[in-house]
Chains A and B, each alone.
Chain A
C-alpha cells in the first residue's frame, strides 16, 4: 500500500486489485493535470475496490461491482482559448447481475450520485474502458465517506 499524507491524494483515483500479487493497486496522478491512464490498459487485474479522493478529505468508494469504469468529461467550445476544459470526473460500477450502473459525477463543485441503465450510462450512450471487478456474493459498496 502506498502511504501518502492526507489531502495529497486529492483528485487522485485508486484501484485496489484482488489477490496478493504486486502491484496491489493503481494510483493515478492528479487527474486535473494528468491523464488518468485508466484507458491505456496499463493494468489488466481484477479490481476489488475503486476510490476517488476529494480535496475536502472525503473519498468515494465503489466495491463489489461486476465491472468498473473511470473517465474524464471535457468540453471544447468555439470560444475555447486554452484547449479542452475538464468539466467532471466519473466513477462507475456495474451492479452484479443487473443492467444498472452506479454513477458518481464530481464536477462544478458538486458530487452527484445516480443510477443509470447499463449501455446508456453517460449521455444516453455506451462508454468504453470497462474493467472486471471482484464480485462479493452480491454485496456492493457505493458511498462517499470522510477520510483519505
Chain B
C-alpha cells in the first residue's frame, strides 16, 4: 500500500462510458474519450453557453452571468487545455439544468489510482493549494452549505436524477467520498460536478480555488 500515483481525467464526448485506458485515458467504453488533465497547466472552468468546444484558449472567454433572480447552473464546463491550446468541453458535466448534455451522467471526471489506499478517497474544494482556508465566496464564504461547487460521486452508479442536487464542496466541512471503501487495488473513481450561482452572489476576481483529492496510504 505504497503511495499510489493518481491521474485526473475528463471525458470530452457526449458518450457516457468508462475510462478503460486508466492512467493514459484515450478511447474508453461506449465510444467515450478520456483526456488526462495536466494539473500544472490545465484548469477546469465553468463558462457561459457562448463558449464553444474547441475555442482557442487565447481567444474570448465567456464567464457565467449572475442571474437576476433565483440561481443558475453554469451552462457549460470546460478544461482550459494548455497543450492543446483550446477550451475542451466536458459535455456530460452538470445536470439537465445546464446547456450541454449533463444529467444522470456517470462517466464525466475520473481519478485513476494505480494502487491501493488505506482509506476512502475524498474530493474537496479549497481557497488555494495550501488547503488552509475554505472561506472564498465561491465556497460559500463562512457557510460551506452555500458553496457554488456541487459534486456527486458516480464511481458505483449514475446519479439517481437528471437534476441531481449534489453536495456543496467546501474544505473538509463539506466534501464527498469517491467510493464506499478504501481501495484494495488500482481503480478509477468517478464524479460529476456543477457550479450553481445564486442571484445574490458577489462577483469575484481574485479566486484561486482548487479541487483537492485527499487519500491515505501506508
A residues lining the B interface (CB < 8 Å): 35-40, 69-81, 83-84, 87, 90, 122-123, 125-129
Contact = CB atoms under 8 A, between A and B. Distances in A.
A36 B212 contact: no
Interface stretch (B1-9, B13-21, B68-76, B99-107): B1-9
Contact of A84 (B3, B40, B116, B211): B3
B39 A81 contact: yes
B213 A72 contact: no
B37 A123 contact: no
Given A71-B119, A81-B40, 19 more contacts: A35-B2, A38-B1, A71-B118, A71-B216, A71-B218, A73-B215, A74-B216, A76-B6, A76-B212, A77-B126, A78-B37, A79-B128, A84-B3, A84-B6, A122-B119, A123-B214, A125-B119, A127-B118, A127-B182
Given A39-B118, A129-B118, A80 B218 contact: no
B218 A74 contact: no
A77 B39 contact: yes
Contacts of B62: none
Interface residues of B, number: 36
Contacts of B44: 78
A62 B64 CA distance: 53
Contacts of A71: 118-119, 216-218
A62 to B, nearest CB: 15
Given A77-B210, A123-B119, A126-B182, A36 B39 contact: no
Contacts of B39: 76-81
Contacts of B43: 78
Which of B129, B184, B214, B216 is packed against the most chain A CB atoms within 10 Å? B216
Contacts of B210: 77-79
Given A74-B216, A75-B212, A87 B131 contact: yes
B53 interface: no
B195 to A, nearest CB: 14
Contacts of B128: 79
B212 A74 contact: no
